[in-house]
Structure 1
Amino acid sequence: MKWRKLGRIFAPDGSRRWARSYAIIPTAELVDDDRLRVYYASIDDERNGRIGVLELDARNPTRILHDRPDPVLDIGELGCFDDSGVNPSALVQSEVGAVMYYIGWQRCERVPYMLFAGVARRGEDGVFQRLRRTPILDRTETEPFVRSATTILREPDGSYRCWYVSAHRWGYVGEKQYPEYIIRTTRSDDGLNWSRDSVIAINFSNPSEFGFGRPWVIKDGSLYKMWYSIRSRTEPYRLGYAESEDGVSWARQDHRMQLMRSEDGWDQEMICYPCVIDACGGRYLFYNGNSHGATGFGVAVLEKE
């Protein structure tokens, strides 16, 4: 599974008040044979996050066709789970139209943040309106810290499958606090009300690993395929890959993920937050580079065997 980098696509130039820096967690949607939409999150001077969108040439996704000047989802109401920022995580066609599942984050006192999943519906103007003020994946007794960064598929029977990041405790790496987080999976009949029962999909393979960032799942025939970011104590974010026949039991095949850091430039320090989509006969992988998206996002194409 060899990926060929096509280059960086976008990073904010700092001219917009809502998007001074960062273009984090690229989330792609195929509009038609000619266009891809990619949603991303940027931060303002107070480091609050909002979601913007680009339209790209589906045949040459490094070419920007349109850069919407205003955000399509703003920060949440003061005191809500998303009052410090929102990041995109998945686009799904549902019974109520196109919905975006997003990461809502809130700053905290004794730990840096909380992350829980929200949902919003797209209007005719392209702007998203929240369907709920509260998370769709909220705290549970077994998952009290983080339940977010969802990737969601709608199955042929109309049900929904979700894979998401779940933290089971906070700890330290050096002198800095981080959550220890794995990937879990759960189900829903309507995409809004999710089972509070979940199972572990991807767990640590060695003592150095302490987190998995933003999973992305597609279904290729009868096979589920997942890309994700691996965080460890010995090296920065890199990408992993796994396969499953049922979406529950996964076989990690990280050695097959041949997309490495560059020798220099915007992605020389790390590669993270993958999003994989098929368009115009090609399979593309959008991803963030250095400092978790501070240098923007780029794209790679899967080399044909």
Structure 2
Amino acid sequence: MRWKKLGQLYRPESVHPKLASHAANPLAVLLGGDIYRVFFSGRDKQNRSSVGFVDVDIIRREVVYVHDQPVFEHGSESSFYSHGVSIGNCYEADGHRYILFMGWQCPPSGHWRGDIGRLVLEPDLSLRIDGDKPFMPTDDTDPISLSYPWVIERENGGYQMWYGSTVNWDAGNGEMLHVIKHAASIDGHRWQRNGLAVPYSLGIAQAFSRPSVVGNQHDGYHMWFSYRSGSGEKYRIGYAYSRSGETWEPRLDEAGIDVSPSGWDSEMIEYPFIFDHKDQRLMLYNGNGYGQTGFGMAVLTNE
């Protein structure tokens, strides 16, 4: 299993003060044919992220439209997303489409932290917040910080979610311990948190982010995610496998993708988004600078 890189698709331009840099956490929604709307998190000069988008022809690997306005902005100082919005994926429940996101807060006297919020994706593909309070806040199970949710619907009903949770800001080696946990829901609205999903290893894989999951309960589930080792390396993309979706076996050496020898993704690769199009499994991902150099695409091969 190997990912063949198809190149950089979009390098962000400063199209708006709220989208002055970065195109992180790409999320692809099919418009029709081979055209996808790729939402992403861009930043202003204060590093607060808002959501923008470009339209991409996946087959021609070409950006066909760049939207010059944010479609959803970070909130006020008192909101749970005051300093940014990092989007996950899109799922449907009760005939509505939703996008969960990590809402960033950077209090002046404390460490940054996150809660999970929910956006409604309207039929015209505009976005609106689904309530002013976190959809999934920190609690006794996840008391420090939450991140990067990913949701899929089961074939026989119900939903699964994988999300990030901070155990501590420093695991003793100068790197945070931020793990991927599992949650389940009958209706897509109310969730039961089930604890650790992907085992971690200090000094090998301990700072996880942006799980991206494909598969089903018959053939098993495949997860790609970004992670840091805790040994000073920048983000890499890892892989794990699960029969149920609840407990996972990390297989970091089977990720099938790594940094390039040079160029836009030579220092780090992160924030994968996996989707299928015309019998091909594709990955959108970010490179250097946490999305500062935009996003590219790779295709899964059997080589």
**2:69 paired residue number:** 70
Q: Distance in 2 between matches of 1:68 and 1:52?
A: 7
**1:186 paired residue number:** 183
1:1-305 → structure 2 map (5 Å cutoff): 1-60=1-60, 62-171=61-170, 179-195=176-192, 197-220=193-216, 221-234=218-231, 235-305=233-303
Q: Distance in 2 between matches of 1:58 and 1:208?
A: 34
Q: TM-score, normalised by structure 1?
A: 0.92
Unaligned runs of 5+ in 1: none
Q: Quick one: structure 1 residues 303 and 19, their matched pair in 2 at CA, closer, same or farther if it must change by over 3 Å?
A: same
2:215 alignment partner AA: K
Q: Quick one: structure 1 residues 32 and 222, their matched pair in 2 at CA, closer, same or farther if it must change by over 3 Å?
A: farther
For the 8 Å contact 1:59–1:280, the answer to whether it is kept is no
Give a deviation string over 1:241-275, Cα, whole Å, max 9, x none: 11111111211111111211111111110111111
Report SS of the residue matched to 1:81: coil
For the 8 Å contact 1:261–1:268, the answer to whether it is kept is yes
2:186 alignment partner AA: D
Q: Distance in 2 between matches of 1:46 and 1:153?
A: 33
Give a deviation string over 1:156-189, Cα, whole Å, max 9, x none: 2331110010111112787x7x542000001122
Q: Distance in 2 between matches of 1:285 and 1:173?
A: 33
Report SS of the residue matched to 1:31: strand
Unaligned runs of 5+ in 2: none
The size of the alignment, in residue pairs, is: 301
Q: Distance in 2 between matches of 1:71 and 1:215?
A: 24
2:166 alignment partner AA: A
Give a deviation string over 1:87-146, Cα, whole Å, max 9, x none: 211111221412111111111235441111111112243221111211122111131111
For the 8 Å contact 2:41–2:51, the answer to whether it is kept is yes
Q: Distance in 2 between matches of 1:94 and 1:214?
A: 21
1:162 alignment partner AA: M
Moved more, 244-253 or 117-126: 117-126
